[in-house]
C-alpha cells in the first residue's frame, strides 16, 4: 500500500483539461484523516463521505490509514462530484486492489451503494482524452452514448464502481460502447405550409435562413409572428458533423443533453421567456460558469418573443455574441468562453396595445407611450438585426383561401443551394469580413445610386450599410446571380424600411 495515480478531467467552458488524481495512504495519529488538496470546491471535499460508504457497501472495504488526495495541477479549481469515481479508484489502487494504468481516464459521481451517477461534459472529456493520447475513458452508463461519438478512444459505460475496477484490471474482457452518431430524439419542426398569407414575411425568412441573418418581426397580436418564427429552424440545412459536435458539447456541459443520445443533428431552437436574467440568457451563474440560452442556440435559432419586454441591460449583453459569435464570462482568476453563433429571430408589437398603424383597429397609445416602448430597443441593437419585417394582420380571404401554401421543404432546398455558394466562398454572407465586402458585394452603377439614396434618406449607420450589402448578396445567391443587381439591393433596402417607419 502507498502512492497511486489515476486520471480524470475537469471541464471549463466547453473544453476539458486532464487532471492527475494522486492518492497516498499513510500511517497517522487518526485513521479517519481524509485530506483533498488541489483547489477542490465543496462538492469535491464532500466526496470523502460518499467514497467511504461506496467502497464499504461495494465489498471493497476502506483502508485503516489516513488518505491524502492531490488533484493536479493545483492551480486549477476542481468543481463538481465527478471526481468521486477516479478518487475511489485511486484509493483502491493504493490498497493494491487495482492494477496501475495511465491509459484510463475516469469520471463519475458515486452513490452510497457504489452506483455511478451521470455527470456533465462527458463529450468534452472524451475529446480531451483523445487529444492527450489516453486510450480508455470510463464514464457513467448514461453518458456513454455522447462520449462514444469521439473517434480514437474506447469509451466504457459503467453502472457501478465494481465494473470500473474490472475494466481497469482487465479491459480485454469488456467491450467499449459503439460509436453513436444517430440523430437525437428531437420533435419535427412545424411546416411553413400551415401559415396562411404573409408571403412577404416568408420571403424575408427565406433570405435570412439563406445568409444566416438576424430578423425582427413587427406586427399586431395574432398576425402570425410566433407561428412563423417556430417554423424558421425547419428551413435551415442540417448541422454538419463539426457543427453537431460543438453544439452537442454545449448541451452536454449544460446538462441538457437527453440521456442515452449521441450527437444532436438538428439545429437548436431556443425560446427563453422575457423574464430571463442576464445569466440565463448570456451564461454565468454561481459556481462554475454555465452556458446560457445564447450558447445553447449555437448554430441554431434564438427566438425572443415580446422583444421590448426583455430587460434592456439583458438585451444589450447580446451585442457581443451577435458580433463575435461567442460569449466571454470573466471571473476572478478565470475567463470562460462559450460559442454563441446563433441566428436571432425577434418578434414584437408596434406599440404596447399592439395596434399602432393597424387599419382596422384603433391604437390606444399616445405618441409618448409608443416612443418609450420603442426606446427599450437601442439603436446599436437594431443595427445588428439585418432584416426588419412588418407582419400585418392576415386578411380574411387569405385565411380561408384554398391555395396550397409553400412547404418548408421547398424553402429548405433553395436555402441549401444558396448556402452551397457561400461555402465555396469560405463563409456565410452574414459573416463576410469587412475587408472582403467590396470583393463579394460589388455593385453596378444603378446599385450604387440605389444604395446612396437609401443611406441618405433613411439616415442609416455604417453598420446598417454593410448589412444591407450582405442581405443583397444573399438575395442574389437565391436568384442564382453572381452580380448584385439593383433589384436585389432594392429588396434588401426594403427590409430596413421599418428603421424609418417606427424608430425615426
Q: What is the pLDDT of residues 56-86, one digit of tens each?
A: 999 999 888 889 999 999 888 888 889 999 9
The lowest-confidence range among 168-182, 195-209, 394-408, 441-455 is 394-408
Q: Which residue has the cell 427599450?
A: 376
Pick the CATH number of 432-504 from 1.20.140, 3.90.550, 1.10.8, 1.10.1060: 1.10.8
Residues 124, 249: contact at Cβ < 8 Å? yes
pLDDT above 90: residue 32: no
Q: In this structure, is the dihedral angle defined by the CA atoms of residues 223, 372, 387 and 494, taken in order, positive or negative?
A: positive
Residues 451, 493: contact at Cβ < 8 Å? yes
Taking residues 168-184, report their average pLDDT. 76
**What pLDDT is recorded for position 184?**
44
| Cβ partners under 8 Å of residue 55, min gap 6 | 61, 62, 88, 91, 92, 114, 161
**What pLDDT is recorded for position 502?**
62
pLDDT, tens digit, 9 for 90 and up, residues 193-247: 888 888 889 999 999 999 999 999 999 998 889 999 999 999 998 888 889 999 9
Residue 408 grid coordinates: 418548408
d(CA 363, CA 500): 19
pLDDT above 80: residue 183: no
Nearest to 198 by CA among 170, 178, 174, 217: 217
Nearest to 471 by CA among 504, 494, 500, 450: 494
d(CA 469, CA 430): 10
| Cβ partners under 8 Å of residue 43, min gap 6 | 79, 80, 81
pLDDT, tens digit, 9 for 90 and up, residues 384-427: 899 999 998 887 677 666 666 788 889 999 999 999 999 998 88
d(CA 252, CA 240): 18
pLDDT above 90: residue 330: no
Residues 121, 11: contact at Cβ < 8 Å? yes
Residues 167, 138: contact at Cβ < 8 Å? yes
Residues 329, 340: contact at Cβ < 8 Å? no
Tell me how crowded residue 256 is: count the other CB atoms within 10 A of its CB: 12
DSSP class of 258:
P
Pick the CATH number of 3-173 from 3.30.230.10, 3.40.47.10, 2.60.40.10, 3.30.365.10: 3.30.230.10
Domain spans, the chain: 3-173, 192-397, 432-504
Per CATH, 3-173 and 432-504 having the same topology is answered no
Q: Which residue has the cell 438585451?
A: 315
Q: Spell out the SS3 assignment of 290-331.
A: EECHHHHCCCCEEEECCHHHCCHHHHHCCHHHHHHCEEEEEE
Q: In this structure, is the dihedral angle defined by the CA atoms of residues 73, 75, 81 and 82, taken in order, positive or negative?
A: negative
Q: What's the CATH code, domain 192-397? A: 3.40.50.300
Amino acid at each position: 500500500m502507498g502512492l497511486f495515480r489515476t486520471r480524470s478531467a475537469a471541464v471549463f467552458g466547453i473544453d476539458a483539461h486532464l487532471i492527475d488524481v494522486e492518492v497516498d495512504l499513510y500511517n497517522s495519529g487518526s485513521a479517519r484523516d481524509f485530506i483533498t488538496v488541489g483547489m477542490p470546491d465543496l462538492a469535491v471535499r464532500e466526496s470523502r463521505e460518499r467514497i467511504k460508504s461506496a467502497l464499504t457497501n461495494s465489498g471493497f472495504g476502506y483502508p485503516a490509514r489516513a488518505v491524502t488526495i492531490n488533484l493536479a495541477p493545483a492551480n486549477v479549481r476542481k468543481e463538481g462530484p465527478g471526481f468521486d469515481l477516479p478518487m475511489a479508484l485511486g484509493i483502491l489502487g493504493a490498497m493494491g486492489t487495482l492494477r496501475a494504468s495511465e491509459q484510463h481516464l475516469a469520471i463519475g459521481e458515486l452513490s452510497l451503494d457504489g452506483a455511478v451517477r451521470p455527470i456533465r461534459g462527458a463529450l468534452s472529456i472524451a475529446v480531451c482524452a483523445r487529444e492527450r493520447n489516453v486510450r480508455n475513458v470510463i464514464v457513467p452508463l448514461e453518458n456513454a452514448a455522447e462520449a462514444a461519438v469521439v473517434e480514437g478512444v474506447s469509451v466504457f459505460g459503467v453502472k457501478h464502481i465494481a465494473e470500473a475496477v474490472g475494466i481497469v484490471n482487465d479491459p480485454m474482457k469488456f467491450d467499449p460502447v459503439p460509436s453513436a452518431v444517430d440523430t437525437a430524439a428531437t420533435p419535427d419542426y412545424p411546416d411553413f405550409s400551415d401559415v396562411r398569407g404573409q408571403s412577404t414575411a416568408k420571403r424575408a425568412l427565406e433570405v435570412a435562413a439563406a445568409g444566416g441573418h438576424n430578423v425582427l418581426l413587427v406586427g399586431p397580436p395574432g398576425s402570425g409572428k410566433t407561428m412563423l418564427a417556430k417554423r424558421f429552424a425547419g428551413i435551415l440545412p442540417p448541422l454538419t458533423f463539426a457543427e453537431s459536435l460543438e453544439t452537442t458539447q454545449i448541451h452536454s456541459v449544460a446538462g441538457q443533453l437527453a440521456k442515452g443520445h449521441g450527437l444532436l443533428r438538428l439545429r437548436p431552437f431556443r425560446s427563453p421567456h422575457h423574464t430571463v436574467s442576464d445569466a440565463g440568457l448570456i451564461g454565468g451563474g454561481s459556481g462554475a460558469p454555465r452556458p446560457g440560452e445564447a450558447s445553447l442556440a449555437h448554430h441554431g435559432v434564438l427566438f425572443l418573443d415580446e422583444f421590448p419586454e426583455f430587460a434592456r441591460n439583458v438585451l444589450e449583453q447580446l451585442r457581443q455574441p451577435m458580433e463575435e459569435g461567442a460569449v466571454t464570462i470573466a471571473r476572478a482568476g478565470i475567463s470562460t468562453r462559450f460559442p454563441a453563433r446563433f441566428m436571432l429571430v425577434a418578434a414584437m408589437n408596434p406599440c404596447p396595445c399592439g395596434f399602432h398603424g393597424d387599419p382596422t383597429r384603433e391604437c390606444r397609445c399616445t405618441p409618448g407611450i409608443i416612443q418609450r416602448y420603442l426606446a427599450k430597443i437601442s439603436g446599436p441593437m437594431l443595427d445588428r438585426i439585418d432584416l426588419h419585417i412588418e407582419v400585418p394582420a392576415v386578411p380574411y380571404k387569405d385565411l380561408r383561401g384554398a391555395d396550397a401554401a409553400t412547404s418548408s421543404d421547398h424553402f429548405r432546398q433553395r436555402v441549401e443551394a444558396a448556402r452551397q455558394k457561400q461555402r465555396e466562398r469560405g463563409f456565410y454572407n452574414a459573416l463576410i469580413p469587412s475587408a472582403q465586402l467590396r470583393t463579394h458585394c460589388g455593385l453596378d452603377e444603378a446599385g450604387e445610386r440605389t444604395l446612396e439614396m437609401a443611406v441618405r434618406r433613411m439616415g442609416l449607420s455604417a453598420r446598417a450599410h454593410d448589412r444591407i450589402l450582405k442581405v443583397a448578396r444573399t438575395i442574389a445567391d437565391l436568384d442564382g446571380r453572381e452580380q448584385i443587381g439593383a433589384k436585389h439591393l432594392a429588396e434588401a433596402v426594403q427590409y430596413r424600411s421599418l428603421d424609418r417607419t417606427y424608430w425615426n
